[in-house]
Amino acid sequence: MQFGVGDTTRWLYFSFDILLVAVILYSIVRAFNSKKNISYLALIGLALAILVISAFITLPGLHVLAQFGLVVLVIGLPLFLDDRWLGLFGNSRAGLTTSEPPYLNSFLVGLFSVIASFMIVGLVSGIGAKTAELPNGVPLVAVNLPTGMAASFGSQVTAKVIVSAQNDKWRSLTADNFSATVDVATQGEGTYDLPVKLTSKVKDVTIVRVNPSNVVVTVEPVIKKTVTVAAKFSGKAGDGLVPDEPIFEPLKVEASGPKSILSSLTQAFIQVKLNGENQKIVQKYGLVALNASGEVIGSVSFSPTEAEATINLVKAGNLKAVGIRPATTGQIASGFWVKSITLDPAVVTVSGSADQLSKLTEIATEPISVAALSADTTASTTLSLPSGVTIADGTNRISAKIDLELVSTVKTVVPQLDYDGLSSLLKVTAITPSSVSALVSGSSSVLSTLADGTIKVRISLSPYQSPGTYSITIKSTDFTLPEGIGMVSFLPSAVSVVLENR
């Protein structure tokens, strides 16, 4: 039995189970409440704990040893505590009373019984069960839409769910076993923040948590659009075989959905899962709309709802190593730009027909979202494989390290002249030209506060120890720049300095 959050009946059973175990433990400990007896019961408790824990973490050797130890202890109990056991069963040779004072007072016996019952019931209830997040999100679906209206969820098209179930049942669970609905029955056209209701289509599965619990929904008029049919492959065909370009019937279908989504939708996809097939595939598949991350967009429907695909399986040509090109979607935060995207791996080995491989120079990733990104990050994505091309080297996911940089602007400033090494016997009476102009770069926020004189340029006069007119070369290293400021260029590259006696 699983005890799920929000399941009142199961919580009642859970509480009743704890109460019964606590009462039984209290009776046993109170009956054997002496130092010798408690020590023996503690050994039995330890053996029982090892038995349960070894079953929970699957340690068969330790489990068998714990079983043996428990049997020895239980068989030895009436021999070791002969008088006490006879007293329990009403033998005249002994009673439950003893001259030996109780080892634990009633409060400690009760406290131990309650704590131990929680541990026993809680641990045993978890054996054979698994609580974890499903690997794939459950598509969000708006229900009770007014006629002629549709709903869109923006980039949040799925809900993540943590569920609890027996191990064998958990392994067979998929996103298709759940529904995530958002009720928009009382909403007109507009944008709303509404709760997500997630239900299981499978019995004895407890929903622990849904993320997000609320989503932003835009209710808007439905529009229609004609799009072409395309295939999305996963898995592998039989040895040495790859799917050729599919033939669809029909080739085009009518899409219906929110205007904000259909305006950029160009294809309806069938999702083909290959599993060692070695014969031509002729099958009808349901049509779905996919977002840039490859997730199903539940608010788009198609007419007809299915398309028949004829997929020939052809012999793969020679293997070929091609570079991977990162594809992005979304607009990063204002003031930043994508400096670089480093992929790991950067090259993948693929197989396909000789004709397809001859034209293949690179493979793009599925679009990586950089929407509102304002800091360096690492994302995980997959490859967007052309039809008839499969991965040959086992690469499943691509790691993308995204480095951002602030957008730089330029500004012209007049640096302050700093005479370095001027003799105490001399003074500067003239400099031509009278000032230096510097073009510097930096973020808009930094440059907006940069004033003339903030930057200094060093004019080295230490070599000149007598009056005269000297030409002094200025180098970029002579400038002292604040943090976040870079030198682009400066003028002039030399100045004429007149030195006279003081």
Structure tokens at 42: 């503690």
Lowest pLDDT segment from 4-13, 72-81, 320-329, 347-356 = 4-13
User: Can you give the pTM of this predicted structure?
Assistant: 0.45
pLDDT band at 270 (very low <50, low <70, confident <90, very high): very high
Instruction: Mean pLDDT check: name the lowest of 108-122, 180-194, 341-355.
Output: 108-122
Cα–Cα distance, 9 to 16 (Å, whole number): 11
Domain membership of residue 120 (yes or no) is yes
Tell me, yes or no, whether 204 and 353 share the same domain: no
Average pLDDT over residues 355-369: 85
pLDDT at residue 8 is higher than 70:
no
Based on the domain organization, do 188 and 240 belong to the same domain?
yes
Query: Which of 66 and 296 is assigned the larger pLDDT?
Result: 296
Residues 253 and 124 in one domain: no
Percent residues over pLDDT 90 in the chain: 18
Residue 5: helix, strand or coil by DSSP? coil
| Domains of the chain: total | 4
Among residues 278, 313, 348, the one where a domain terminates is: 313
Split at pLDDT 50, 70, 90, the class of 124 is: low
Domain interval for residue 203: 129-313
Confidence of residue 85 (pLDDT cuts 50, 70, 90): low
Question: Quick one: average pLDDT of 60-75?
Answer: 72
pLDDT at 462 over 80: yes
CA neighbor of 285 nearest in space, from 259, 265, 267, 305: 305
- Mean pLDDT for the stretch of residues 153-168: 81
- Contact (CB, 8 A) for 173 and 163: yes
In the predicted structure, residue 484 carries a pLDDT above the cut 90: no
Question: How many residues are there in the chain?
Answer: 502
104 lies in the same domain as 145: no
**202 occurs within a structural domain:** yes
pLDDT at 9: 55
Spatial distance between the Cα atoms of 491 and 413, rounded to a whole number of angstroms: 11
| Percentage of the residues of the chain whose pLDDT score is greater than 70 | 86
Query: Is the pLDDT assigned to residue 416 strictly greater than 70?
Result: yes
Whether 158 has a pLDDT exceeding 90, the answer reads: no
Same domain for 334 and 345?
yes
- Give yes or no: residues 478 and 374 share one domain: no
Q: Which amino acid is at 45?
A: G
Q: Which of 73, 100, 128 is the last residue of a domain?
A: 128
Tell me what the mean pLDDT of segment 381-404 comes to.
84
In a shared domain, residues 137 and 285: yes
353 vs 215, residue with greater confidence: 215
Is it the case that residue 268 has pLDDT exceeding 90? yes
Residue 225 forms part of a structural domain: yes
Residue with more model confidence, 473 or 40: 473
Is there a single domain that holds both residue 193 and residue 299?
A: yes
User: Mean pLDDT throughout 386-411?
Assistant: 82
pLDDT at 97 over 50: no
Question: Residue 268 falls within a domain, yes or no?
Answer: yes
What the block records as the tokens of 465 is 């120890």
Residue 372 lies in a domain: yes
Distances (CA, A) of 321 to 270, 343, 382: 28, 15, 17
- CA proximity to 121, closest of 28, 45, 20: 20
User: Tell me, what amino acid is at 216?
Assistant: V
> Is 249 in the same domain as 370?
no
CA distance 43 to 46: 5
* 258 and 277, same domain (yes or no): yes
Q: What is the mean pLDDT of residues 79-89?
A: 53
Residues 416 and 482 sit within 8 Å (Cβ to Cβ): no
Pair of tokens at residue 354: 């000789």
Mean pLDDT of 472-496: 88
d(CA 214, CA 233): 32
User: Of 391, 406, 421, at which residue does a domain stop?
Assistant: 406
Q: What's the pLDDT score for residue 96?
A: 45
- Output the average pLDDT for the chain: 81
What pLDDT score was predicted for residue 419?
92
Is pLDDT of 288 > 90?
yes
What is the rounded CA–CA span in Å between residue 179 and residue 160? 11
Residue 51 neighbours by CB under 8 Å, 6+ apart? 63, 66, 67, 70
Pick the more confident residue, 44 or 365.
365
Q: Which residue has the tokens 């309806």?
A: 268
- Which residue type sits at 212? P
